[in-house]
Amino acid sequence: MFLRCRSIHSTFGRSLSSPFRRVSRFTLPISKRYQSSDAQEKPYYVTTPIYYVNAAPHIGHLYTTVLADVVKRWQELKGREARLCTGTDEYGLKIQQAAAVAGVNPKEFCDSGAETFKRLADTANISYDRFIRTTDPDHQTTVEHVWRVLRESGHISLKNHSGWYSISDEAFYPDSAVEKTLHVPTGKQILVSKETGKPVEWMSEENYHFNLSSMAPRLLEFYEKNPEWLVPNQRYERLKEEVKKGLEDLSISRPRERLQWGIPVPGDESQSIYVWLDALVNYLTFTGYPYTPPSSTVWPADLQIIGKDIIRFHCIYWPAFLLAIGAEPPKRILSHAHWTMSKKKMSKSDGNVVDPFHAIKRWGVDAMRFYLCIDGGIVNDGDYSNQEIEDKYNKYLGSQIGSLVTRVCSAKYSVSDAILCEREGGRGVELPEELKGMYERLRYGKLEGVRERFDERMKKMDFSNAIREVLDVVAETHKYIHATQLWQDDKAALRSYMLYPAAEALRISGILLQPFMPQKMDKLLGLLKVGEDKRGWGDAVIGADFGYGIGASGTKERVFPKFPIKEEDM
């Protein structure tokens, strides 16, 4: 089945039958086609890499996609329209070879692989706006257009090329980028890419080249003007040093006699377009390039999320292509670390690859989203552990967030009366000095400003500590309830007054954690009787909502039930 998640027409709610279709493709400056005329008004645009369909999805694919979804939902929570594009990379020699081994034609092979990745996105509750495939017709049109612009602007030339080629990476590498290593299965020394660890072999052929060497000064100028462009900074510094050493021209086609499964070079069907040029252009295809007018485009991307192993492609080649066609590079690149198991790289041969479908089925989709974001690495690799998932579920989700729902919504209290008491100015309650200190610590020391602290962490792409800012409030609320002993009968006169900040802590925490656990937080806010129109960014401050809580007290439902979790409770 040919997958088309959503057409550009439906994604943006407008037709692409613009006047651009009635003029020469090169009549107007390309930069005017897809640079936003007002970056503050355009939707926030976030992307994942598109995933190669030659192998099954693993936990790293899930991690990248969840991070992108969290960022999109965070922006939407703040009231900004947002777009998320994900999908699959389907051309290249690896696919051609894998399809031959499987005994099917490449398109059938890609259809099956794309369906699996799309099913993972749907299973993980990813709110993508398009699941793009590089075999989509509109993508081929975009790639062909980019090629023509590069060629006509003098950035492409045909010449003989020799170098170290990695079939796995679909890339040529210079001598400086390869090294010898021991091939454990055979005990022989082999040459591999330093960056990816994939084997390389010497290859010589005639193909088209992008004049990457001439782009180095422009790239360095761009890096200088955008000091926070690549996150984390450690990788940015290494990237700059690499470019300063000089760049070699980049092979961007393959002889068609060797690579049939690819987009033919416009005007020269003896060559196929190199998979990385083809693949990277998908981020433009989503925007409707080259026909979307400046006032309507979502380009440039606000954030592109990648794994640390594909920095060269996204932080050297990609901005170079864009600058060469007169486009803005993306505003920011987030490169995250990988997942290991027992501090060891995951690999099929070691049998320690995590099946994301199995993990979601075992732990539940929101529990997995939470775990990946709180334990996943940006600078350093995260170490995957089933025991850690269970421990964090019990500690943070069950004993902290879930338990707080039970305590605040206890039949002993009335959440709605606590809100009414606040609206009535506290009913003249005077707290003893000890209780007053506890009350003020929770309300003014922890709860006030949590939204801003959370937001600052998110802006820095510090997802783990953004979650912990909220968990800190939840933990403090538990201490508050325990220390004040609101359940005791002699606290009845003070109970409504003192319950209010605890109820607010639960409500605000539920709102802020929606990007990470959308289904579970929907349930939590539902139990607290928070209206669906009162769950936005402006509502995540104390005193923003006086209409919730009616009927919330005495609930027996659990947001995070104990293990083993029944499927209907996930």
Quote the CA–CA distance of 368 and 354 in Å, as a whole number.
12
Cα angle 269-270-276, degrees, rounded to a multiple of 5: 80
* Mean pLDDT score, 261-282: 95
Instruction: Please give the structure tokens belonging to residue 530.
Output: 């928070």
Instruction: Reply yes or no on whether the pLDDT at 28 is more than 60.
Output: no
User: Are 37 and 294 contacting, i.e. CB atoms less than 8 angstroms apart?
Assistant: yes
User: Are 284 and 277 contacting, i.e. CB atoms less than 8 angstroms apart?
Assistant: no
Q: What is the pLDDT of residue 567?
A: 63
The verdict on whether omega for the bond into residue 290 sits within 30 degrees of 0, i.e. cis, is yes
Instruction: Reply yes or no on whether the pLDDT at 221 is more than 90.
Output: yes
More confident residue, 187 or 544: 544
Instruction: Reply yes or no on whether the pLDDT at 566 is more than 70.
Output: no
Q: What is the pLDDT of residue 17?
A: 28
User: Are 111 and 1 contacting, i.e. CB atoms less than 8 angstroms apart?
Assistant: yes
Cβ burial, residue 169 (10 Å; 0-12/13-18/19+): buried
Return the SS3 of 284: helix
Instruction: Reply yes or no on whether the pLDDT at 20 is more than 60.
Output: no
List 130's β-bridge partners, or say none.
85
User: Are 545 and 507 contacting, i.e. CB atoms less than 8 angstroms apart?
Assistant: yes
* Residue spans of alpha helices (H) in 327-449: 356-363, 365-375, 386-392, 403-408, 415-423, 433-440
Instruction: Reply yes or no on whether the pLDDT at 26 is more than 50.
Output: no
* Mean pLDDT score, 85-90: 98
Q: What is the pLDDT of residue 392?
A: 96
Instruction: Reply yes or no on whether the pLDDT at 211 is more than 80.
Output: yes
Give the distance, in angstroms, between the CA of residue 375 and the centroid of all CA atoms in the same chain. Answer: 15
Instruction: Reply yes or no on whether the pLDDT at 38 is more than 90.
Output: no
Q: Could you tell me the pLDDT band of residue 161, with boundaries at 50, 70 and 90?
A: confident
Quote the CA–CA distance of 542 and 558 in Å, as a whole number.
25
Cα angle 266-143-286, degrees, rounded to a multiple of 5: 160
Quote the CA–CA distance of 482 and 505 in Å, as a whole number.
15
More confident residue, 90 or 494: 90
Quote the CA–CA distance of 119 and 366 in Å, as a whole number.
16
Q: Could you tell me the pLDDT band of residue 427, with boundaries at 50, 70 and 90?
A: confident
* Mean pLDDT score, 66-70: 98
Cα angle 350-354-359, degrees, rounded to a multiple of 5: 155
Q: pLDDT, tens digit, for every residue of 430-477?
A: 888 989 999 999 999 999 999 999 999 999 999 999 999 999 999 999
Instruction: Reply yes or no on whether the pLDDT at 274 is more than 50.
Output: yes
Q: Tokens 């439906």 — which residue?
A: 10
From residue 395, how far is each of 212, 298, 475, 507 by CA, in Å? 51, 41, 10, 20
Domain with CATH 1.10.730.10 in the chain: 383-569
Strands 130-133, 268-273: parallel, antiparallel or unpaired by DSSP? unpaired
Quote the CA–CA distance of 394 and 113 in Å, as a whole number.
35
User: Are 287 and 36 contacting, i.e. CB atoms less than 8 angstroms apart?
Assistant: no
Q: pLDDT, tens digit, for every residue of 378-397?
A: 999 999 999 999 999 999 99
Query: For 17-26, 114-123, 489-498, which range has the lowest pLDDT when averaged over its residues?
Result: 17-26
User: Are 50 and 88 contacting, i.e. CB atoms less than 8 angstroms apart?
Assistant: yes
Instruction: Reply yes or no on whether the pLDDT at 186 is more than 70.
Output: yes
DSSP annotation of 316: I
Query: For 424-438, 486-500, 508-522, 555-569, which range has the lowest pLDDT when averaged over its residues?
Result: 555-569
Q: What is the pLDDT of residue 35?
A: 54
Quote the CA–CA distance of 191 and 183 in Å, as a whole number.
9
Q: What is the pLDDT of residue 283?
A: 98
Q: pLDDT, tens digit, for every residue of 326-343?
A: 999 999 999 999 999 988
Q: pLDDT, tens digit, for every residue of 509-535?
A: 999 999 999 999 999 999 999 999 999
* Mean pLDDT score, 206-219: 96
More confident residue, 1 or 247: 247
More confident residue, 8 or 79: 79
Instruction: Reply yes or no on whether the pLDDT at 8 is more than 60.
Output: no
From residue 446, how far is each of 398, 441, 442, 443, 526 by CA, in Å? 21, 6, 5, 6, 24
Q: What is the pLDDT of residue 565?
A: 66
Q: What is the pLDDT of residue 564?
A: 63
Q: What is the pLDDT of residue 24?
A: 32
Q: Could you tell me the pLDDT band of residue 154, with boundaries at 50, 70 and 90?
A: very high
How high does pLDDT run on average in the chain? 89
Instruction: Reply yes or no on whether the pLDDT at 569 is more than 80.
Output: no
Asked whether the CA dihedral 411, 413, 414, 415 is positive or negative, the reply is negative
Q: pTM of the predicted model, to two decimals?
A: 0.88
% of the chain at pLDDT higher than 70: 91
Overall fold of domain 383-569: Isoleucyl-tRNA Synthetase; Domain 1 (1.10.730)
Domain 30-336 has what CATH class?
Answer: alpha beta
Instruction: Reply yes or no on whether the pLDDT at 21 is more than 60.
Output: no
